[in-house]
Amino acid sequence: MIAIRLGLYLSLMLLVGLAAFPLYALRKDERSGEALFATRKTLVFWSGAAIILSLLGFLALVAQMMGSSITDVDWQTSWSIIAETPIGAAWVVRMVALGACLLAAILIKRAEESRLWVVLGTGAVALATLVWTGHAGASEGLAGGIHKASDMLHMIAAAVWLGGIAAFLFMLRIPDDGLWGDRLAVSHRALDSFARTGTICVAVIIVTGLINSQILVGISNITALFDSLYGWLLIVKLLLVGMMLLLAAHNRWRLTPDLALALAEGDPAKAVSALRASILIEATAGFAILAAVAWLGTLEPTASAAMS
């Protein structure tokens, strides 16, 4: 179940983030250059992956409720969950949004910007529905509404950040297409746009993270974090986020200027290698955070444990 949750989080976040990246980081004439940034094929792949993983996730959820395996799922129970529960309704919305997302990625061939906006919008809707399969989905009243809205913004901001990291890993890949110089020039310019967008994303992540933490943990229960698996996973997640912030600052203030200097001197290989290695570490930390989030969603929050 955790592996499926992780795969679904990863596919939806990359789908949203990779659709957003060309819109804020690339110029109009660069968005259709598959050699520079493989937008269409990438979006089709992640849309399809998200549909498959969403289906598997729903079957796993039903099987968990029934105490059976996925192959023994009772379809009458499945229909009852779809028709009668918020989780079922959210799943239907997600599947419809992902279907529209996949069709847009496949069918809209010439209007690159239109395809990206449709995929971004439908992908964001699909990503937001994950709120109902997590702790925010169980919250009610005004606090529950705030929690859901905060969680949605938190995930979308994280998706834009992680999608940008994945995009730069692709653009800074080892040259094999004869467009090494073009990709480096575009990548360097795009890093400035990503820095501005990333700053906004980080601000949203921090504010919404504080809101979510207060609801799920509570400042009075901070010391209780050390007494549960949930608490330790949350601590690890926060440490990894801090690591990503330090790497992002290092990339922006040290490695990106180094790349500009190396490009001017005509010998960018060493600077590119250093930047690529730093972004790869940042991507690894991001993947570990998603794994922690997928696991945390299956555990009882510290605030709930403290009240029981």
pLDDT in tens, 37-96: 667 888 999 999 999 999 999 998 888 878 777 877 888 888 898 999 989 999 999 999
pLDDT in tens, 8-36: 999 999 999 999 999 999 888 777 666 56
Position with higher pLDDT, 175 vs 195: 195
Longest Cα–Cα distance of the chain, Å, equals 68
| Burial class of residue 65, CB neighbours in 10 A (0-12, 13-18, 19+) | middle
DSSP string, 56-101: HHHHHHHHHHHTS-GGG--HHHHHHHHHHSHHHHHHHHHHHHHHHH
Entry pTM: 0.91
Distance CA 38, CA 33 (A): 7
**Closest Cα to residue 15, out of 89, 111, 96, 125?**
125
DSSP conformational letter for 177: S
pLDDT in tens, 203-243: 999 999 999 988 888 887 788 888 889 999 999 999 999 99
Q: Is 178 left (phi over 0), alpha (psi -120 to 50) or beta?
A: left
How many Cβ atoms are within 10 Å of 111's Cβ, its own excluded?
A: 11
pLDDT in tens, 141-179: 888 889 999 999 999 999 999 999 999 998 887 665 555
Distance CA 276, CA 173 (A): 8
Distance CA 46, CA 14 (A): 7
Position 186 confidence tier, pLDDT thresholds 50, 70, 90: confident
Amino acid identity of residue 292, one-letter, is: A
Q: Residue 180: its pLDDT value, please? A: 62
Q: Residue 37: its pLDDT value, please? A: 65
pLDDT in tens, 258-276: 999 998 888 888 999 999 9
- Please determine, for residue 117, whether its predicted confidence score (pLDDT) is greater than 70: yes
Tally of helices (H runs) and strands (E runs) in the chain: 12, 0
DSSP string, 107-159: H--S-HHHHHHHHHHHHHHHHHGGGGGSGGGG--HHHHHHHHHHHHHHHHHHH
Q: Residue 29: its pLDDT value, please? A: 77
Q: What is the mean pLDDT of residues 107-130?
A: 90
Distance CA 56, CA 44 (A): 19
Q: Is 301 left (phi over 0), alpha (psi -120 to 50) or beta?
A: beta
| 9, 156 Cβ separation under 8 angstroms | no
